Amino acid sequence: MNFQLQFFGATEQVTGSLYVIRAGNHTIMLECGLIQGGRKAEKRNRDPFPVPIDEIDAVVLSHAHIDHSGRVPLLVRRGYEGPIYAQNATRALCKIMLPDSGYIHEKDAQWENKKRAKRGAKKNTSSSRTEKSAKDELAEIEPLYTKADAEACLTQFESAPYEEDVEIVPGLTLRFHDAGHILGSAIVELEYHEGGESRTLVFSGDLGYRDAPVMEAPKRLRHANAVLMESTYGDRLHRPFAETIEELTDVFNVARAAKGNVLIPAFTVGRTQDLLYLMAEHYEEWGLRHWHIFLDSPMAIEATNAYSRYRHLYGAKLFGPESNLPALDNFHETRSTEESMAINQIHSGAIIIAGSGMCNGGRIHHHLRNNIWRPECHLLIVGYQAHGTLGRRLVDGVEEIRLWGENYTVRATVHTIGGLSAHADQTDLLDWYGAFENTPPLYLVHGEERAQQALEKKLKARFDAPVSIAAYQQTIEI
């Protein structure tokens, strides 16, 4: 039987998820994620795709996060005309996130071209390098893809609910199961039939954390012939959730006494909705009726609406008439720039949730400019901050930050709350794999080396599992 998978992304790293599956004469791309993490790595997004585009019969996505879906508009721009399979809510979130990603690529290209034009003006007076390389470095670049490209690819999405069989190419059945990571996130099960035989591949996608406030725990499967499992937190154990709630209670109490504002840089999908849910749940405990809460991000507002529309997919009731939580009375969604700018006038009593999550851009910059130098203000970091981001520098305790060419001394208190992760920890990962009854061959993806090695060791010790760390371009028979 010809059923193979080749690894092309998210091997020994976290982003750029991409796998190519051959089932009989057909080729399927599983995930089409953007490579993230610094200029040099991100340049690789422009490389040709690992298989000729006219050979691809179907694309399957596990969830909407950009490191899993963010190269789909590029694939379509380069000529892919086939179907893109995603869970219903994933399709809804991609409709919000991919055009935004296109817009960011347009802005990035504009910024880079401006820089190159300036450099070019200088180079005309003093030229030192060889002409060719100098020319390459100064030539105008195109955006990776545009907002219009992203909008165009959405028509090729085919959505499927959880737990339903869809034959995506002859003999190959796709089934999505709830991965509990973000809205619509799926474990991807692919079952291939050929000549009276069948083999099953399971890809975990990103798995959720068992105590996550909004999402359900990831579905456990019992059988597979090969498993790909994420390993982001393969070397870590999350602290008990009750401790995280206590920490947050302390932060809000201290902030209230200080009479300043609280800024929360938030990731649009997942973390923001978790936070809003927890705010409703702990409304009294956190003294939130003394604050005005602003969700200052049009995209996060859209994503929150999608969570409300698809609330049947998870256990918690978020907002709306069916909500079993107290409404956030003093909650304000600020879509327009004018509404956002009006927040600048508030010096005390505002909790401002704004993107981007790692402070790399977005409206949070404006709020940092107005608040970070004030000792009565608080900055609450609730998500992972990658190296090289402003968020990371703030977590590491920089004394000064630079925004729009001006320096601001950091006098606000910075709090880091680590327990709100949307990813499974080591215990969750071990338990999830442990549910398979046949101890299938396991390949670790989506993790940094240290996390993968730690997890590999544990899996071997606990299950005697045939586990390995997936290598770039490695091919496996399923």
The residues of the shown chain that bind Zn ion, judged by CB under 5 A, are: 65, 206
Tell me how far, at minimum, the Cβ of 383 lies from Zn ion, in Å. Answer: 12
- Cα 99 to chain centroid distance, Å, stands at 15
Instruction: Report the residue number, 206 or 296, with the smaller CB distance to Zn ion.
Output: 206
Instruction: Report the residue number, 146 or 426, with the smaller CB distance to Zn ion.
Output: 426
Instruction: Report the residue number, 57 or 206, with the smaller CB distance to Zn ion.
Output: 206
Q: What whole-number distance in Å separates Cα of residue 426 and Cα of residue 239? A: 12
What are the angstrom distances between the C-alpha of 168 and each of 54, 92, 149, 285? 16, 20, 24, 50
Tell me how far, at minimum, the Cβ of 344 lies from Zn ion, in Å. Answer: 33
Tell me how far, at minimum, the Cβ of 391 lies from Zn ion, in Å. Answer: 18
Euclidean distance between the first and the last CA atom of the chain, given in angstroms as a whole number: 9
Tell me how far, at minimum, the Cβ of 181 lies from Zn ion, in Å. Answer: 5
Instruction: Report the residue number, 208 or 391, with the smaller CB distance to Zn ion.
Output: 208
Tell me how far, at minimum, the Cβ of 207 lies from Zn ion, in Å. Answer: 9
Tell me how far, at minimum, the Cβ of 93 lies from Zn ion, in Å. Answer: 11
Q: In the structure encoding, which two tokens stand for residue 13, read together?
A: 């790293």
Q: Which position has the token pair 């009276």?
A: 196
Q: Looking at the DSSP assignment, which residues form a beta bridge with residue 160? A: 87
Tell me how far, at minimum, the Cβ of 216 lies from Zn ion, in Å. Answer: 16
Say how many residues make up the chain.
478
Instruction: Report the residue number, 188 or 351, with the smaller CB distance to Zn ion.
Output: 188
> Which amino acid makes up residue 154?
L
Instruction: Report the residue number, 9 or 82, with the smaller CB distance to Zn ion.
Output: 9
Q: At what angle do helices 449-463 and 426-434 cross, to 10 degrees?
A: 40
CB atoms within 10 A of CB 263: 26
Q: By three-state DSSP, how is residue 271 classified? A: helix
Tell me how far, at minimum, the Cβ of 427 lies from Zn ion, in Å. Answer: 19
CB atoms within 10 A of CB 75: 22
Q: In the structure encoding, which two tokens stand for residue 404, read together?
A: 């729009």
Instruction: Report the residue number, 268 or 334, with the smaller CB distance to Zn ion.
Output: 268
What are the angstrom distances between the C-alpha of 181 and each of 162, 217, 283, 294, 375? 14, 8, 24, 25, 36
Q: What whole-number distance in Å separates Cα of residue 46 and Cα of residue 360? A: 22
Q: In the structure encoding, which two tokens stand for residue 127, read together?
A: 């030229």
Instruction: Report the residue number, 65 or 177, with the smaller CB distance to Zn ion.
Output: 65
Q: What whole-number distance in Å separates Cα of residue 391 and Cα of residue 371? A: 15
